């Protein structure tokens, strides 16, 4: 369409250039234009957290960000949390702790956890529950997710000293 | 904990990493919305703004003129079904109703009912085109209240419905009605039973319509090929059920439809019926291109299959020594627009936890102008557990009996006949109550002025049904396991573990895949807590077949007869004590005859039944009426826990859904039948900040119908929470809550009302 804009952003540490209409959300651009379908759509109105990505160091729900707002931004998606093909501490903790069932909310939880651990390396259970309250999971009852985040924090402290 | 001498297993009871896990923590797993095909179009739907109206006229001309619009369909494009009733795996379905639910014909019966659909080059164009379709309606009075809908002078939703009687004499009436079904179950003599009772309790309960709340909205992509073969990619709980529904709706042979299962982002019963699939297929037929349609969250709330609201009157009688002697229940469920609520199951579940000598249960399936309801985790059982378990608590209070003692005294056991007829095989109801009674939680005193503790039990049947698997031995000693059960919560692994146990190999050496309907034998839905049980049996049968074939291959190698070769713990043992591991023989298979492929099927109707007992501590804010869950313990009979982490996960997830149903969740309808909270902001499911850790006690009373004793675990954990929380609120404040959800305003009103009465 004629009203498309060219947007340039850094996505998962690589420069990405894409065309987008002003009305398209970052979520739509990531999934449909850039094929980064690991970011999930659950509600498209900011209530479920399934589309959480990290933008300029902050966790955002990508359904409430316009694609054009990504101009010049640094964005990390689930595809970029571990670029070398291995799993990072958070991904491993979710896997080992059985902290997922259907898995649709998992990328969003992992991104939100990354943001939490960047802010607070040693969170309490209450910190975790407060910080992750914007991410909905309907399968697990959250028990194993909260424990996985605790385990990931501990593991990351060991790794980073 | 274990209640019997446990066989020693090598794989069962361990906690391997799930086979699909890496894909799901890296974002690589492909769900229904993730598919992209060459020349694919995007669909959108036009939906009714009214709850009840006649469709006078639909004008699609403006939409069709828009650039980028490729096709528009209305009910004229959907084949006429006539009077056909078809068995669709979860019971018989009236095809005219199913077709009309997919695309309204003549009348719309709920807000959000589809009246037209568009395919366009992109989703925004499709949505703009939908806005340009003009629909003229003649509005009719909406029927929203259950009891009013049952009255003789209520406006009628479906002119083809007459009351169907199940277990009672047919009404014989040719009267049009909204009461689609009438159930009646009786056992013993309830008049005498209540006459013998020293204490009788009776209350009326109401529960609101609630939604499964899966995080992934419905989706469907379809391609109708030039050879009339239709391929569907979708998120579904049952590929074969989706195939049949789609084929029947399109009046095509089932073999012309192939359903490719994508990963599924939660279902809980709500992803069995098809909604978008036939529309995508018809749009594809018109355009010759694949068409993808995704639902919005609001469409999911307004127009999929939530679980009914209910109105129930239940009465229980007991002797002064605590023996239950009689029970009576009258239960009405909102079917939604078309018949099909789980009222039958509710009638069977209402007294299912107890050995009740005299009972009568009457149930009604009632059409109202709300979306057609559907299964939701132990469908119907949570409603009735709220009623019965609250009354049991009241009996305990009046009898001054401990709630665990009362339940143990009256628990259903092996040989107990339920009111609706079936006699229980070995079940674990008593064991779950004992587990709660003996738990650290129950033994710990709860202090605090506005704190209280509640206990409740629950039952779900668990079904068997049909499954198929095939399994091929690879030359490196691993096994490729092919199955038809879509995996929502880790069943690839629980099935693979049973195959591995039977073959004596590691769970990691089995590679399970879920495939499309052309690539595996018939498999019923992932529902009814059946997959680990039934597909598990199919996998065990496939493994036994592989054992036999491996013995034959070893016999060729050792130049003996197959009957001289034994299969022992993952090894082949020959007559002269020759010994090869599974892997060692697999490596030699190339020279030893045909490929080794095991097939397995299963098809039993029933399982042994699942029971659970829960204990909850709450604290209530007396100024806000807000109920906080302080501590929660669930004890559940899993038969044999194959993968304990995922058994715990089902228990914890079910409990938290039950907490949401108990405290927050409900459809808020206005008088015109418009739902006012169709978003996750206003339809508030529990967040992790609302709940504590959920402590689990896995009770294991093996089901003799499964080789390893498995019982399904998925559904029963949702049943007890509302009643357990209601009983805890009573313990804290002395008020009996009889309406769900027990939202702050209701708790506060009841609490203030009690104070006024004092």
Examine residue B361 and state whether it is found in any structural domain, yes or no.
no
> Over 60: is that where the pLDDT of B119 sits?
yes
* pLDDT reported for residue B345: 97
- The total domain count for chain A is 2
* pLDDT reported for residue B91: 75
Residues B487 and B523 in one domain: yes
- Strand-pairing partners, residue B294, are B219
* pLDDT reported for residue A2: 58
* Rounded mean pLDDT, B383-399: 98
Query: From the CA atom positions of chain B, what is the Rg in Å?
Result: 27
What number of C-beta contacts closer than 8 Å exist between A and B? 180
How many CB atoms sit inside 10 A of residue B319's CB? 13
Residues B695 and B555 in one domain: no
Examine residue B280 and state whether it is found in any structural domain, yes or no.
yes
Contacts of A134 in chain B (CB under 8 A): 687
A100 contacts B21? CB cut-off 8 A: yes
Residues A76 and A96 in one domain: no
* pLDDT reported for residue A63: 98
A104 contacts B216? CB cut-off 8 A: yes
Q: What CA–CA distance (Å, rounded) separates A5 from B737?
A: 57
Residue B436 · residue B454 · CB < 8 Å: no
> Over 60: is that where the pLDDT of A1 sits?
no
* Rounded mean pLDDT, B281-297: 98
Find the domain containing B472 and state its range: 21-28+464-602
Residues B473 and B592 in one domain: yes
User: Which one of B14, B18, B19, B24 would you mutate to disrupt binding with A, by most A Cβ within 10 Å of its Cβ?
Assistant: B24
> Over 90: is that where the pLDDT of B605 sits?
no
The pLDDT tens digits for B202-254 are 999 999 999 999 999 999 999 999 999 999 999 999 999 999 999 999 999 99
The pLDDT tens digits for B39-67 are 999 999 999 999 999 999 999 999 999 99
Sheet (strand B694-699) strand order: B451-460, B610-620, B627-637, B694-699
Residue of B610, B619, B471, B464 whose CA lies nearest to B532: B464
- Give SS3 for A110: helix
Residues B613 and B718 in one domain: yes
The DSSP-derived string for A12-64 is: TTEEEEEEE-TT-BHHHIIIIIS--TTS--S-SSSSS-TTEEEETTEEEEGGG
Closest CB to A79: pick one of B27, B216, B267.
B27
* pLDDT reported for residue B5: 66
B22 at A interface, C-beta within 8 A:
yes
Residues B513 and B628 in one domain: no
Most distant CA pair in chain B: distance in Å?
A: 91
Token pair listed for B454? 């509640």
Helix axes B721-733, B644-663, angle to 10 degrees: 60
Which DSSP helix (H) or strand (E) runs through B201? strand B199-207
* pLDDT reported for residue B1: 45
The pLDDT tens digits for B414-430 are 999 999 999 999 999 99
Please state the three-class secondary structure of B202-244 as a single string.
EEEEEECCECCCCCCCCEEEEEECCCCCEEEEECCCCHHHHHH
Residues B120 and B252 in one domain: yes
Please classify residue A97 by burial: count the beta carbons closer than 10 Å to its beta carbon, then call 0-12 exposed, 13-18 middle and 19+ buried: buried
Find the domain containing A13 and state its range: 5-80
> Over 60: is that where the pLDDT of B407 sits?
yes
Query: What are the phi and psi torsion angles at B473 (to 5°)?
Result: -85, 125
- The total domain count for chain B is 3
Angle at B374 between CA B369 and CA B379, to 5 degrees: 125
Examine residue B150 and state whether it is found in any structural domain, yes or no.
no
Task: Spell out where B665-732 has E strands.
Answer: 694-699
Examine residue B374 and state whether it is found in any structural domain, yes or no.
no
**Residue where one domain finishes, among candidates A80, A108, A135:** A80
More confident residue, B97 or B607: B97
> Over 50: is that where the pLDDT of B305 sits?
yes
Residues A9 and A76 in one domain: yes
Residue B673 · residue B751 · CB < 8 Å: no
* Rounded mean pLDDT, B516-530: 96
Is residue B607 very low, low, confident or very high in pLDDT (cuts 50, 70, 90)?
confident
DSSP-derived secondary structure letter, B185: E
- Calculate the average pLDDT of chain A: 96
Name the region of A85 (left: φ>0; alpha: ψ -120 to 50; beta: rest).
left
**Residue where one domain finishes, among candidates A51, A80, A109:** A80
Residues B619 and B728 in one domain: yes
Residues A29 and A72 in one domain: yes
Question: ipTM of this predicted complex?
Answer: 0.98
Closest CB to B25: pick one of A77, A110, A140.
A110
The pLDDT tens digits for B63-80 are 999 999 999 999 999 999
**Residue where one domain finishes, among candidates B255, B277, B298:** B298
Q: What CA–CA distance (Å, rounded) separates B473 from B479?
A: 5
Sign of the C-alpha dihedral computed for residues A146, A151, A156 and A157 taken in this order: positive
> Over 50: is that where the pLDDT of B2 sits?
no
* pLDDT reported for residue A161: 66
Is residue B199 very low, low, confident or very high in pLDDT (cuts 50, 70, 90)?
very high
The pLDDT tens digits for B204-215 are 999 999 999 999
Contacts of residue B473, Cβ cutoff 8 Å, sequence gap at least 6: B479, B546, B549, B550, B586, B589, B595, B596, B597, B598
Q: Give the gap in angstroms from C-alpha B405 to the nearest C-alpha of chain A.
A: 29
Question: Nearest residue on chain A to B649, judged by CA atoms?
Answer: A140
- Give SS3 for B731: helix
**Residue where one domain finishes, among candidates B266, B298, B330:** B298
How many CB atoms sit inside 10 A of residue B599's CB? 16
* pLDDT reported for residue B401: 98
* Rounded mean pLDDT, B577-603: 97
B654 contacts A95? CB cut-off 8 A: no
Residues B259 and B282 in one domain: yes
Is residue B378 very low, low, confident or very high in pLDDT (cuts 50, 70, 90)?
very high
Q: What CA–CA distance (Å, rounded) separates B11 from B268?
A: 28
The CATH number of the domain holding residue B655 is: 3.30.365.10
Q: Give the gap in angstroms from C-alpha B675 to the nearest C-alpha of chain A.
A: 17
Is residue B604 very low, low, confident or very high in pLDDT (cuts 50, 70, 90)?
confident
- Strand-pairing partners, residue B740, are B207
Is residue B606 very low, low, confident or very high in pLDDT (cuts 50, 70, 90)?
confident
Contacts of A32 in chain B (CB under 8 A): 36
Contacts of B654 in chain A (CB under 8 A): 141
Examine residue B498 and state whether it is found in any structural domain, yes or no.
yes
- CA distances to B31, B384, B418, B667 from B204, rounded to whole Å, are 43, 11, 23, 20
The pLDDT tens digits for B123-166 are 999 999 999 999 999 999 999 999 999 999 999 999 999 999 99
Q: What CA–CA distance (Å, rounded) separates B313 from B503?
A: 52
Residue of B586, B579, B582, B581 whose CA lies nearest to B565: B579
Examine residue B397 and state whether it is found in any structural domain, yes or no.
no
Residues B532 and B578 in one domain: yes
- CA distances to B297, B626, B690, B754 from B748, rounded to whole Å, are 31, 8, 19, 10
- Calculate the average pLDDT of chain B: 96
Token pair listed for A153? 């924090």
Query: From the CA atom positions of chain A, what is the Rg in Å?
Result: 16
Is residue B7 very low, low, confident or very high in pLDDT (cuts 50, 70, 90)?
confident
Residues A65 and A120 in one domain: no
Residues B542 and B456 in one domain: no
Examine residue B367 and state whether it is found in any structural domain, yes or no.
no
B32 at A interface, C-beta within 8 A:
no
Token pair listed for B427? 């079940």
Is residue B261 very low, low, confident or very high in pLDDT (cuts 50, 70, 90)?
very high
Residues B677 and B698 in one domain: yes
Q: Give the gap in angstroms from C-alpha A88 to the nearest C-alpha of chain B.
A: 10
* Rounded mean pLDDT, B368-389: 98
Residues A106 and A144 in one domain: yes
> Over 90: is that where the pLDDT of B87 sits?
no
B497 at A interface, C-beta within 8 A:
no
> Over 80: is that where the pLDDT of A40 sits?
yes
Examine residue B329 and state whether it is found in any structural domain, yes or no.
no
The pLDDT tens digits for A82-97 are 878 899 999 999 999 9
How many CB atoms sit inside 10 A of residue B612's CB? 36
- Strand-pairing partners, residue B607, are none
> Is the peptide bond prior to A6 cis by the omega test (within 30 degrees of 0)?
no
Contacts of residue B182, Cβ cutoff 8 Å, sequence gap at least 6: B163, B164, B165, B166, B168, B171, B362, B363, B364, B365
Sign of the C-alpha dihedral computed for residues B390, B395, B396 and B398 taken in this order: positive
* Rounded mean pLDDT, A13-42: 97
Residues B665 and B745 in one domain: yes
């Amino acid at each position: 369409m004629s009203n498309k804009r060219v947007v340039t952003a850094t996505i998962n540490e690589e420069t990405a250039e894409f065309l987008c209409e002003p009305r398209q959300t970052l979520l739509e651009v990531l999934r449909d234009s850039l094929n980064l379908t690991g970011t999930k759509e659950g509600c498209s109105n900011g209530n479920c957290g399934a589309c959480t990505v990290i933008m300029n160091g902050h966790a955002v729900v990508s359904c409430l960000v316009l694609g054009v707002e990504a101009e010049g931004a640094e964005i990390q998606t689930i595809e970029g949390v571990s670029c070398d093909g291995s799993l990072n501490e958070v991904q491993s903790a979710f896997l080992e702790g059985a902290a997922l069932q259907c898995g649709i909310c998992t990328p969003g939880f992992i991104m939100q956890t990354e943001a939490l651990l960047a802010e607070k390396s040693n969170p309490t259970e209450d910190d975790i529950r407060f910080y992750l309250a914007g991410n909905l999971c309907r399968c697990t009852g959250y028990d194993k997710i909260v424990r996985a985040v605790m385990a990931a924090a501990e593991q990351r402290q060991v790794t980073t000293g | 904990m274990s209640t019997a001498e446990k066989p020693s297993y090598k794989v069962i009871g361990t906690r391997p990493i799930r086979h699909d896990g890496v894909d799901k923590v890296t974002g690589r797993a492909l769900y229904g919305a993730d598919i992209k095909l060459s020349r694919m179009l995007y669909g959108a739907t036009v939906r009714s703004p009214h709850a009840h109206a006649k469709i006078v006229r639909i004008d699609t001309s403006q939409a069709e003129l828009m650039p980028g619009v490729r096709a528009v369909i209305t009910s004229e494009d959907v084949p006429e079904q006539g009077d056909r009733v078809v068995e669709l795996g979860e019971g018989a379905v009236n095809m005219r109703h199913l077709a009309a639910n997919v695309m309204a014909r003549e009348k719309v019966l709920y807000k959000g009912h589809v009246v037209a659909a568009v395919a366009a080059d992109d989703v925004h164009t499709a949505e703009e085109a939908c806005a340009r379709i003009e629909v003229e309606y003649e509005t009719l009075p909406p029927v929203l209240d259950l009891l009013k809908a049952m009255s003789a002078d209520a406006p009628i939703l479906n002119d083809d419905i007459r009351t169907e009687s199940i277990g009672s004499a047919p009404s014989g009436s040719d009267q049009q009605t909204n009461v689609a079904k009438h159930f009646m179950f009786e056992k013993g003599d309830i008049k005498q039973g209540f006459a013998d009772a020293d204490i009788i309790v009776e209350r009326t309960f109401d529960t609101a319509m609630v939604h499964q709340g899966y995080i992934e909205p419905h989706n469907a992509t379809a391609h109708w090929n030039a050879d009339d073969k239709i391929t569907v990619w979708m998120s579904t709980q049952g590929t074969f059920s989706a195939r049949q529904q789609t084929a029947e709706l399109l009046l095509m042979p089932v073999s012309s439809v192939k359903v490719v299962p994508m990963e599924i982002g939660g279902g809980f019963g709500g992803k069995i019926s098809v909604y978008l699939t036939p529309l995508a297929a018809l749009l594809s037929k018109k355009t010759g291109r694949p068409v993808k349609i995704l639902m919005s969250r609001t469409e999911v709330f307004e127009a999929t299959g939530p679980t009914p609201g209910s109105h129930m009157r239940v009465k229980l009688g007991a002797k002064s020594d605590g023996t239950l002697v009689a029970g009576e229940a009258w239960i009405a469920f909102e079917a939604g627009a078309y018949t099909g609520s789980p009222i039958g199951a509710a009638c069977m579940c209402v007294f299912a936890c107890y050995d009740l000598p005299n009972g009568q249960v009457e149930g009604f399936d009632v059409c109202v102008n709300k979306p057609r309801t559907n299964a939701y985790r132990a469908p119907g059982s949570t409603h009735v557990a709220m009623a019965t378990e609250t009354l049991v608590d009241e009996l305990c209070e009046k009898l001054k009996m401990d709630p665990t003692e009362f339940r143990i005294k009256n628990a259903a056991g092996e040989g107990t006949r339920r009111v609706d007829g079936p006699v229980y095989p070995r079940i674990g109801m008593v064991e779950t109550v004992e587990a709660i009674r003996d738990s650290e939680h129950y033994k710990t005193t709860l202090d605090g002025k506005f704190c209280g503790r509640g206990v409740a039990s629950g039952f779900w049947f668990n079904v068997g049904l049909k499954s198929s698997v095939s399994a091929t031995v690879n030359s490196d000693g691993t096994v490729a396991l092919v199955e038809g059960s879509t995996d929502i919560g880790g069943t690839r692994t629980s099935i693979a573990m049973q195959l591995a146990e039977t073959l004596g190999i590691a769970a990691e050496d089995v590679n399970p895949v879920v495939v499309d309907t052309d690539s595996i034998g018939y498999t019923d839905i992932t529902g009814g807590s059946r997959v680990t049980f039934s597909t598990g049996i199919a996998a065990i049968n496939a493994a036994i077949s592989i054992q036999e074939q491996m013995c034959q291959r070893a016999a060729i190698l050792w130049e003996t007869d197959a009957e001289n070769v034994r299969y022992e713990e993952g090894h082949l043992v020959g007559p002269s004590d020759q010994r090869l591991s599974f892997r060692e023989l697999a490596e030699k298979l190339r020279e030893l005859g045909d490929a080794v492929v095991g097939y397995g099927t299963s098809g039993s109707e029933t399982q042994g039944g699942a029971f659970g007992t829960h204990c909850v501590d709450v604290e209530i804010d007396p100024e806000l009426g807000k109920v906080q869950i302080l501590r929660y313990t669930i004890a559940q009979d899993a038969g044999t826990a194959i993968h304990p982490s995922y058994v715990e996960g089902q228990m914890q997830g079910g409990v938290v859904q039950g907490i949401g149903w108990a405290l927050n969740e409900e459809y808020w309808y206005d008088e015109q039948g418009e739902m006012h909270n169709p978003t996750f902001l206003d339809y508030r499911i529990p967040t992790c900040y609302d709940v504590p850790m959920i402590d689990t006690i896995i009770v294991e009373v093996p089901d003799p119908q499964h080789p390893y004793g498995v019982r399904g675990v998925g559904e029963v954990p949702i049943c007890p929470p509302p009643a357990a929380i209601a009983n805890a609120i009573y313990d804290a404040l002395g008020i009996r809550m009889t309406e769900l959800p027990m939202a702050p305003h209701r708790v506060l009103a009841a609490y203030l009302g009690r104070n006024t009465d004092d």
